[in-house]
């Protein structure tokens, strides 16, 4: 199937009940998925319902010459979830990927059953719309590239020299922040970027929250209304979650029907330096340029992304999300994503004690560097994970913060994240 059967998500929603009753969804999704896989890996070979699998026939397998194979299960009927999960759990494939029905199509029935039966270590997930809808095709290919690329990566590839770093990042999809991901949406539009560089942090619930959209916005406004809440300490309420300051939000608030915006103005009257957005679906987005000290320049004009500040704000924003989830009575996990836009040729700074920081140029041994290239070769860097923000412990850095720091550091050829103190393993106090 060379073309997507639906142009928009609304078209898919309109036809979904009929296609499900007629039992046409599986065949349609299998055919379209095979096409997307061949587009990403032209030398691969898709096979629908391959035989001789450990747990029976999977919906689709995709073979890469000399590298192994991936299998896919398409979840459309709640009653089939246990069997489809067994196919994934018992497979020997290098990549095992679930295709779930979008929550908007079935009121979250498949999502709820899937995560209820596999709440820990769920398999990588795509939505049906990522495969069947033209406007979501880029996002679907991006996820396929990320999931399969990571599964087939080897330790040898990770340790390749600097000249191979760009291709390695491409396999991990750390260099692919596209217009479809963040682009010219109302979330990023008009943000003043220092040399077209900015940082994006996004947190979205993987399934629909039960709280009404109006109540989500009311509680978000109440939570962020009083400036004093940011300086509460200990067990005082609010906040209930560490870090104590939760998040230093922009100052000016405005509303847009289905979302609330907090913004700091840029130097130009029409531009925005930083923006926090909370939607009526409990999605939280933050984007900022150099004005918030995420991005800066050395005297010689080289751009520097401040890793300590980025990771600290990732942790703090997670605290804000946890507070919001608690207030609206949502106990689910969240998809957390950090993106650095405009990274090519930049350095990484904002380091902790024990590391030479390029932001402190007198300490940076420019003339005595080893042969490693410390600049980023990727145009953008993005890393996403599904995390449990409600499980954060007071004053303890959650593991997912270290994971995000490690992924970003890899893009700059660092073996370990230099934003944590070598002796204590903590983020420097100046960033919290």
Domains of the chain, first to last: 9-152 (3.40.1350), 164-431 (no CATH)
| Residue 99 predicted with pLDDT over 60 | yes
pLDDT digits (tens, 9 = 90+) for 263-283: 888 766 667 888 899 999 899
Question: What span, in angstroms and rounded, lies between the C-alpha atoms of 191 and 24?
Answer: 44
196: left (phi over 0), alpha (psi -120 to 50) or beta: left
Residue 303: beta bridge partners?
Answer: 297
350: left (phi over 0), alpha (psi -120 to 50) or beta: left
User: Which of 53-67, 180-194, 336-350 is most confident?
Assistant: 336-350
Question: What span, in angstroms and rounded, lies between the C-alpha atoms of 4 and 29?
Answer: 10
Question: What span, in angstroms and rounded, lies between the C-alpha atoms of 182 and 405?
Answer: 21
| Angle at alpha carbon of residue 397, lines to 391 and 399, rounded to 5° | 70
| Residue 11 predicted with pLDDT over 90 | yes
pLDDT digits (tens, 9 = 90+) for 202-214: 898 888 888 999 9
- The tokens 């704000």 sit on which residue? 313
Q: What is the pLDDT of residue 180?
A: 44
Give the model's confidence band at 16: pLDDT under 50 very low, under 70 low, under 90 confident, else very high.
very high
Residue 255: beta bridge partners?
Answer: 260
Q: What average pLDDT score do residues 302-315 get?
A: 92
Give the model's confidence band at 145: pLDDT under 50 very low, under 70 low, under 90 confident, else very high.
confident
| Residue 241 predicted with pLDDT over 80 | no
| Residue 155 predicted with pLDDT over 50 | no
Q: Which residues contact 54 (CB under 8 A, 6 or more apart)?
A: 90, 91, 92
Q: What is the pLDDT of residue 357?
A: 84
Q: How many residues does the chain have?
A: 432
Question: What span, in angstroms and rounded, lies between the C-alpha atoms of 24 and 40?
Answer: 25
Three-class DSSP labels, 108-166: CHHHHHHHHHCCCCCCCEEEHHHHHEHHHHHHHHHHHHHHHHHHHCCHHHHCCCHHHHH
Q: What is the pLDDT of residue 209?
A: 87
From the list 165, 209, 158, 184, the residue with the least C-alpha distance to 334 is 209
The terminus-to-terminus CA distance of the chain in angstroms comes to 51
| Residue 171 predicted with pLDDT over 50 | no
Provide the mean pLDDT of the chain: 80
From the list 105, 152, 95, the residue with the least C-alpha distance to 129 is 105
Q: What is the pLDDT of residue 256?
A: 82
Contact 285, 297 (CB under 8 A): no
Residue 294 has which token pair? 């995420």
CA distances from 14 to 104, 106, 124, 193 (A): 11, 12, 27, 40
User: Which of 152-166, 358-372, 409-423 is most confident?
Assistant: 409-423
Question: What span, in angstroms and rounded, lies between the C-alpha atoms of 387 and 17?
Answer: 32
């Amino acid at each position: 199937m060379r073309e997507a059967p639906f142009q928009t998500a609304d078209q898919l929603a309109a036809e979904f009940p009929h296609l499900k009753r007629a039992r046409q969804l599986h065949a349609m999704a299998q055919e379209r998925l095979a096409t997307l896989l061949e587009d990403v890996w032209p030398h691969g070979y898709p096979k629908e319902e391959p035989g001789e699998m450990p747990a029976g026939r999977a919906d689709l397998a995709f073979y890469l010459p000399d590298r192994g194979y991936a299998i896919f299960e398409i979840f459309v009927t709640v009653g089939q979830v246990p069997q489809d999960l067994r196919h994934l759990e018992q497979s020997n494939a290098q990549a095992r990927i679930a295709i779930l029905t979008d929550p908007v199509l079935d009121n979250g029935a498949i999502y709820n059953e899937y995560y209820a039966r596999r709440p820990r270590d769920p398999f990588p997930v795509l939505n049906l719309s990522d495969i069947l809808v033209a406007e979501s095709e880029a996002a679907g290919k991006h996820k396929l590239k990320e999931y399969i690329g990571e599964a087939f990566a080897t330790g040898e590839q990770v340790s390749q020299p600097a000249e191979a770093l760009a291709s390695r990042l491409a396999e991990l999809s750390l260099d692919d922040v596209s217009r479809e991901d963040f682009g010219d949406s109302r979330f990023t539009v008009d943000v003043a970027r220092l040399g077209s560089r900015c940082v994006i942090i996004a947190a979205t619930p993987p399934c629909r929250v039960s709280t009404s959209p109006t109540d989500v916005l009311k509680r978000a406004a109440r939570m962020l209304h009083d400036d004093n809440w940011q300086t509460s300490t200990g067990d005082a309420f609010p906040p209930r979650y560490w870090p104590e300051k939760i998040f230093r939000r922009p100052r000016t608030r405005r509303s847009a029907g289905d979302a609330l915006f907090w913004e700091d103005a840029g130097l130009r009257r029409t531009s925005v330096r930083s923006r926090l957005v909370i939607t009526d679906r409990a999605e939280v987005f933050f984007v900022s340029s150099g004005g918030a000290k995420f991005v800066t320049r050395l005297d010689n004009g080289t751009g520097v992304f401040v890793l300590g500040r980025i990771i600290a704000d990732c942790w703090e924003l997670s605290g804000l999300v946890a507070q919001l989830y608690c207030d609206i009575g949502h106990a689910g996990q969240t998809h957390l994503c950090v993106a650095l836009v405009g990274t090519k040729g930049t350095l990484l700074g904002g380091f902790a004690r024990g590391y030479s920081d390029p932001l402190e140029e007198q300490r940076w041994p420019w003339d005595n560097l080893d042969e490693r290239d410390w600049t980023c070769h990727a145009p953008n860097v993005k890393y996403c994970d599904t995390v449990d923000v409600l499980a954060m412990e007071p004053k303890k850095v959650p593991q997912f913060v270290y994971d995000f720091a490690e992924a970003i550091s890899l893009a700059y050829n660092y073996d370990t994240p230099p934003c944590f103190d070598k002796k204590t393993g903590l983020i420097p106090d100046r960033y919290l």
